[in-house]
Amino acid sequence: MSDPTPQPAPTPAADPARERLAAVRAEVAKVVVGQDAAVSGLLVALLCGGHVLLEGVPGVAKTLLVRTLAASLSVESTRVQFTPDLMPGDITGSMVIDSHRGELSFREGPLFTNLLLADEVNRTPPKTQSALLEAMEEGRVSVDGVTRDLPRPFLVAATQNPVEYEGTYPLPEAQLDRFLLKLTLPVPPREQEMEILRRHADGFDPRDVTAAGVRAVAGPADIAAGQAAARAVQVSPEVTAYVVDLARATRESPSLSLGVSPRGATALLRASQAWAWLVGRDFVTPDDVKALAQATLAHRLGLRPEAELEGVEVGQVLSSALAAVPVPR
């Protein structure tokens, strides 16, 4: 997928939270070459309180991108390598015996963090996937009948490999729907790949992002302020109708067995508000909606078997819907 977001055109009004979050881009660029679309998507997800599924072949910096983002924010971060033997309690936490007091106490799992990197989420069984996705949806976990809230902000950045399916448990559509965005990280073009090799030749160590000069430039207060400001971005009735008509167009497509749900339409609206605020506007335009549509909606669609046999792709169907729905003026 090409960059799903337009480049900022307006000059943003002064806003400390926006300036600090915008500075995250420069910090990430110290380590990760290109992948601007993915950085934009992760920032949008932070502002929406949503989660991101990163897909790409091995070696395109999925894990490195999330680690660098975490280093550029003053937040707690945890990485979990998802494996076939990972159990729900391994991520949510469990009750253990306190040897000092001789009683059971709760030991928090890696979900109790601000930014969770769920590496190769499709390699763990559905039961553990469901525990993760429930926490993403509810913002809390329940263990032994007790509900515990997760920290705020809370962002899950899950990765998966699109080309290796042996020993994996693909996420079904109902679970994919819990991700605000699905971002595809492409193989970089030649010039960017040359820059990557140049950095490695100069001694860059991807295991130590702090050595590259990455520093924390934004924190939870900036994220909270940005979330509040993004929610206040104005959406005209015409733009709201455009989002609804786009969602309905996917439901009517003969190539799809599953169209965009009202939750998907809401996600597109929220993402558009976040992007509008990031580029310095207090209102959403149809271009914002179009720019975020592929990343927000494509993973929520299901192709009919006959369409798959004909080589139709979800992105093509969504592009057709975008072209068919009249854009408000």
pLDDT tens column, 250-305: 999 999 988 999 999 999 999 999 999 999 999 999 999 999 999 999 999 988 99
Strand-pairing partners, residue 181, are 52
Angle at the Cα of 293 from the Cα atoms of 288 and 295, rounded to 5 degrees: 115
pLDDT of residue 133: 84
Highest mean pLDDT among 4-13, 60-69, 234-243: 234-243
Report the CATH architecture of 1-231: 3-Layer(aba) Sandwich (3.40)
pLDDT of residue 34: 85
Distances 101 to 23, 96, 144, 261 between C-alpha atoms, Å: 47, 11, 19, 50
pLDDT of residue 10: 47
- Chain-centroid distance of CA 41 in Å reads 6
- Which stretch of 19-23, 54-58, 62-66, 204-208 has the lowest confidence by average pLDDT? 204-208
Average pLDDT, the chain: 89
Mean pLDDT confidence for 59-77: 92
What is the distance between the alpha carbons of residues 247 and 18, in angstroms, rounded to a whole number?
30
H/E stretch holding 252 reads none
- Joined together, the tokens standing for residue 13 give 């009004």
What is the distance between the alpha carbons of residues 261 and 251, in angstroms, rounded to a whole number?
8
30, 321 Cβ separation under 8 angstroms: no
What is the distance between the alpha carbons of residues 322 and 42, in angstroms, rounded to a whole number?
23
Does the structure show a pLDDT above 80 at 87?
yes
> What confidence tier does 165 reach under pLDDT thresholds 50, 70, 90?
low
* The amino acid at 174: A
- Joined together, the tokens standing for residue 156 give 């899950």
pLDDT of residue 308: 85
> What confidence tier does 82 reach under pLDDT thresholds 50, 70, 90?
very high
Does the structure show a pLDDT above 50 at 38?
yes
What is the distance between the alpha carbons of residues 293 and 242, in angstroms, rounded to a whole number?
12
pLDDT of residue 192: 92
> What confidence tier does 145 reach under pLDDT thresholds 50, 70, 90?
confident
% of the chain beyond a pLDDT of 90: 61
> What confidence tier does 57 reach under pLDDT thresholds 50, 70, 90?
confident
> What confidence tier does 172 reach under pLDDT thresholds 50, 70, 90?
confident
What is the distance between the alpha carbons of residues 32 and 35, in angstroms, rounded to a whole number?
7
% of the chain beyond a pLDDT of 70: 95
- Which stretch of 12-21, 22-31, 112-121, 274-283 has the lowest confidence by average pLDDT? 12-21
What is the distance between the alpha carbons of residues 300 and 229, in angstroms, rounded to a whole number?
27
Mean pLDDT confidence for 236-260: 94
What is the distance between the alpha carbons of residues 207 and 41, in angstroms, rounded to a whole number?
23
CATH of 233-329, one of 1.10.8.80, 3.30.450.40, 3.40.50.970, 3.30.750.24: 1.10.8.80
Which tens digits make up the pLDDT trace of 177-209?
Answer: 889 999 999 899 999 999 999 999 988 888 888
Which tens digits make up the pLDDT trace of 291-322?
Answer: 999 999 999 998 899 988 888 889 999 999 99
Q: Where are the domains of the chain?
A: 1-231, 233-329
